[in-house]
Chain A
Amino acid sequence: MEEELDQNASPDSISFGDFMPSASLVGLIFSVVTFAISLAMGYYQISSEPSGSLLSPAILSGTVVCLISILAGVLAVWHFTKEVNPYIKLGQGAALGFLTGAVMVVFTAVFGEFWNFIDPEYTEKLVEATIANVEAMDLPDAQKQPMIDSMADSVRQQETFLSQVLWGIPVTGVLNLLTGMIGVKIFAKKDRQETF
């Protein structure tokens, strides 16, 4: 199959629609994984005693989710080179990476909305757990209140569909755009026209 792809393929024949299978599949898988991680860490924070540590499970999950998310661009390009066209160019990889990031954000936001039906109190419980964690920190009271306000706002905003999509698509999209280009450098075959 790979040989068949190799013979018929050319980077110039790639259209935007060709990106959709790889972007959708990889975006969906990554959104399931990252959503599950952040949900698990969120419930862990809700159920555990406030530690007073800056590295709370919710913050830790944000970092882990971010690190995992940026791999989506590389994997989408890998999938594309295996299944669609091995001769993808740098810019096409960038577009595929961005699209994968965008798909991932949209799916994650949809899962978030879905989870609101299952557990409508999740966001508020997470906000309360976050506040309790800040209150347990060894900080002067004057510094605590602004920190509590900003963290509570941040958690509430992260849980709304619109803000997730508005902020998530550019940020996750651009990060995956960069990793999509890395994916091209790793997995794409060099264009035959460029070999001389």
Chain B
Amino acid sequence: MNNSEISSQWAERLNTPWVERKGFSHWGMALLWLVVVFVTSQVVVALVAIGVLFVTGDVTNAEELLTALETRLDVLFIGNSFGQIFILGLASFIVAGLHVGQETRAQFLRFRWTQETPFYIIAGAILMLVIQPMVMFLGYLNSLVPAPEMLEEMHRSQYQMFEDFLTSDGVFLIGIFHIALVPAFAEELLFRGYIMRAFEKSGGIIVALILSSLIFSLFHLQLTNVLPLATLGLVMGLLTWLSGSIWPAAVAHFVNNGSAVVMATTMPDRAFADITPELLPPLWMLIGSAVLTTILVKVLYDKSNYKLPA
């Protein structure tokens, strides 16, 4: 083997993503990383919460700690944000490097800003508001599907935790930070940046859109809320793909979660009420929401350079 053959083989190797060189599939590695993220982020939440409680001197023994971990929601939210920033965000950014060959990590994750990006950001934010009646209706449909009592109980306790936190005094900005700002960037980096891209490399964009939105909804551990979450995930996936940038989906995610925080702090009775047919938006609003959502998606699709395979 002469020198030029050796250097061309090295160049080929360097241009081949690590996952391919080592015999992994992109989707397999993405699923494996999801498992790691799921486990480690829970560990980080617990460690940070325990650390904060001990450092601030709020607890001094194990018994007080166990009680505080159930009641000190502010500390749990701090732990959750740490987990989101460092595991879902930063660690996923590093792991994305295993999937890149010629492109950079930033290109793989679609950290891209073009002249078109502001248009998609505004359109995405409007889309998030327009789709809300449909999302509420899907939430109602989902609530009709019987779920195991354990999962319903878990969902109820999650919502109770949010309600307790968001109905306490002076938490609006903290709520916006922990519930809207941090997840908007960290979750988008993981689900639309990393997971969707890895699935796209393995199975094409349609498979990537469907599976990444399903995984996004299941990751929230709210089986009673899978349908609305998967729909939102699909819309944010579409925004990312059509714009070629992660920023419109991040802003749309922020708008969605931010409006939930606004509603929860201003109208808690309505925001945390169980969805019943009486609380659903009127039919004209549902039809209007569906029509406007379809039109907006069509406009975005027509404007985009990315097209579905024929």
Contacts and interface: CB of A to CB of B under 8 A. Distances in A.
User: Are chains A and B native binding partners rather than an unrelated pairing?
Assistant: yes
B6 A174 contact: no
A89 B23 CA distance: 5
B290 interface: no
Interface string A154-196: 0000000000000000100010010000000000000001001
Contact of A196 (B6, B32, B35): B6
Interface string B19-31: 1011111001100
Contacts of A95: 25, 28
A92 interface: yes
A89 B32 contact: no
Contacts of A193: 9
B28 A91 contact: yes
A14 B21 CA distance: 14
Contacts of B9: 193, 196
Contacts of B25: 91, 95
A89 B35 CA distance: 21
B95 to A, nearest CB: 14
A88 B21 CA distance: 12
B1 interface: yes
B22 A90 contact: yes
Contact of B23 (A91, A174, A196): A91
A102 interface: no
A92 B1 contact: no
Contacts of B35: 170, 174
Contacts of A90: 22-24
Contacts of B21: 89
A174 B24 contact: no
Nearest to A87: B23
B1 A91 contact: no
A196 B5 CA distance: 11
Contacts of A170: 35
Contacts of A196: 1, 6, 9
Between A91, A92, A94, A196, the greatest number of chain B beta carbons within 10 A of the residue's beta carbon is seen for: A91
B37 to A, nearest CB: 13
7 contacts: A89-B21, A89-B23, A91-B22, A91-B24, A94-B24, A94-B32, A174-B35
What are the 8 tightest A-B residue pairs by CB atom distance, in nearest-first order?
A89-B23, A91-B24, A91-B23, A90-B22, A92-B23, A91-B22, A89-B22, A174-B35
